[in-house]
Structure formats: C-alpha cells, structure tokens
Amino acid sequence: MFIKTDEPQDAMILQLVPMMTQACEILNQEFQQYCSGEHFNIEHKHDASPVTQADFRANQFITQALADYSPDIPLLSEEGEYSLRQQWQRFWLLDPLDGTKEFLHQRPEFTINLSLVEGAQTVFAILAIPGEQAMYICPVQGMPLKLDIMTQQWFIYTPEQQQTDAVKIGLSQSSQQKGQYHEYLQVLESITEYSVFKAGSAYKFCMMLEHKIDIYPRFHPTSEWDTSAGQCLLERIGGGLVDFKGRPFLYNQRDSLLNKGFIAYRTAEMQVLALDVLARMLSKH
C-alpha cells in the first residue's frame, strides 16, 4: 500500500517529474483527439504492430527533454535509433507509449516506461499512467514513491500484512483463452483459488504495486523497454520478474531486444507459487 509522505528531495526525481508530467499531458491530448474521431495517423511496423502519432510525439518530447537534462547519457527508445547500444554501459531505456493497442481500443491503460540502466541492471525507474494522472517512481535508493499529478500529493510504498484471499492473476485483455495461459490457470486452480485482473501493457506492474495483482505470467514476447521499469519497482518491494528458469532479466546484454516469457510476482511467497505452477505446467509437455 502507499501512504502519504513529503515531497522527495532527490534531485533526479525533481528534475524528471515535470518532464514526465508534460509527457502525460501530451498523451492525454492525443488520446482525447483519437477518441473524438478526429483524423489520427496510425502506421504499422515491420512486425505488424501499430505505432501512432501519439507514440512519435511523446517520443520526440521525452528524447529532447532527456538530452537537455543529461546530454552525456544515451537513450534507447522503442521509437528511436539504438544501433550503438552495445557500447553503452549507462543509458536511459524508454517506451514513450506502452500499450498502443489499449490506446487504440480506447482503454486508458497505457503507460510511459522510463528507466536508467547501469551495466545490465535497472537502477532507477518511472512508470507513468497518463489516464490516471499517476506516476510510480523507483528511486536509486529506498522504497517506491507514487505521485498524484493533479493534487501533487506524494506517497511512499509500505508493506502490508500477507493476504488471505484468493490469489490475483494479471493477464492481458485477450490472453486468458490462449493455450499456455489457459494451461497455467488450470494448474493454478488445482492448487488454490484465484481471480483474474485483465489489463494492458506495463499497467499491470502498477497494479501489482497497489496489491491488485499478485502474479503476472507472460508467455508471448515483450521487449526490454516493456519490462525494465516494472522489474525495478517489483524488486524494490521484495517481488521480481524472472525468466522460466527463475533468473531475473538482464538488460542490453543480447543481440535482440526481444524478451522471451517471464513470471512477475509481488512477494517471495507468490514467487514460490508462481514458479511451482509453471514447473507443473511445463512438466506435462
């Protein structure tokens, strides 16, 4: 849970929050334009995934703002140029609009994912939800913070007592009926009661911080900019994000930026359950 706290005195947070606030405003403007039926430019990438004028506008703004703030730190953005990335030891990792499909389905569950990677580890992260006027921030040290953009009220994460109700599973909107997700839920059902929370993009990581999701299994691909910020936030509260062999994701260490499947979990207890279900599921094949 999050409880009220004072504004942090961290210089990086205080510099980046106004930038991310303006980026949220840009995406909310674009979302309103799209939902109103006005002309809206939508293209498709080589993998057939959609990219919109909102993606490009947010990317252009954040790219310039980060260049002004930290000209010595390169940027690896989904919508940018990153051919030299394997030379980088320290860089920003950005998805300026995570959840383009949610955006196009007029569901305000899209996010802005920004993180700072040093070596192979994420050391700082911001996940912003423009539609909720909220930001979740993982500082370099300390527990995650939350900012209500409208009221400018700050909150800090504090652990709660362990739950006793059904395990809450986070899934994408269309994934529950797909083969591996259905199998995972069948195995889970043989062990414990569960409920499903459906949401898009990195929004699910924010819901894990709010204790609305305990486990988030993912069997279809993501990219590094989809998971870095969420993993950083989860690890800080005692949860995590691991591959199917239980290893935390590392960043900018492979030729491809595509991730394979993962299991995200909110607590150590949920890690044990989530990986047990996965092992039982995979043993059937």
Query: What is the Cα gyration radius of the chain?
Result: 18
Instruction: Count other Cβ atoms within 10 Å, centred on residue 6.
Output: 7
153, 132, 134, 169: CA torsion to nearest 10: 120
Q: Which pLDDT score is estimated for 176?
A: 58
Distance of alpha carbon 208 from alpha carbon 237, whole angstroms: 10
Distance of alpha carbon 251 from alpha carbon 85, whole angstroms: 11
Question: Residue 83: which region, alpha, beta or left (left: phi > 0; alpha: psi -120 to 50)?
Answer: alpha
Q: Which pLDDT score is estimated for 278?
A: 97
Q: pLDDT tens, 88-120?
A: 999 999 999 999 999 999 999 999 999 999 999
User: The domain 2-157 belongs to what CATH superfamily?
Assistant: Fructose-1,6-Bisphosphatase, subunit A, domain 1 (3.30.540.10)
50-52 and 90-98 beta bridge pairing: unpaired
**Model-level pTM?**
0.96
Residue spans of the domains in the chain: they are: 2-157, 167-283
Helix (H) or strand (E) holding 198: strand 194-198
* Length of the chain, in residues: 285
For residue 221, what are its two tokens?
Answer: 């691909």
- Of 163, 205, 139, 162, nearest in space to 5 by CA: 139
pLDDT tens, the chain, 285 aa long:
999 999 999 999 999 999 999 999 999 999 999 999 999 999 998 888 899 999 999 999 999 999 999 999 999 999 998 889 999 999 999 999 999 999 999 999 999 999 999 999 999 999 999 999 999 999 999 999 999 999 999 999 999 876 678 999 999 887 656 789 999 999 999 999 999 999 988 999 999 999 999 999 999 999 999 999 999 999 999 999 999 999 999 999 999 999 999 999 999 999 999 999 999 999 987
Topology annotation, domain 167-283? D-Maltodextrin-Binding Protein; domain 2 (3.40.190)
Q: Which three-class secondary structure state does DSSP give residue 230?
A: helix
Q: pLDDT tens, 203-221?
A: 999 999 999 999 999 999 9
Q: Which pLDDT score is estimated for 173?
A: 80
Instruction: Count other Cβ atoms within 10 Å, centred on residue 143.
Output: 15
* Identity at 3, one-letter amino acid code: I
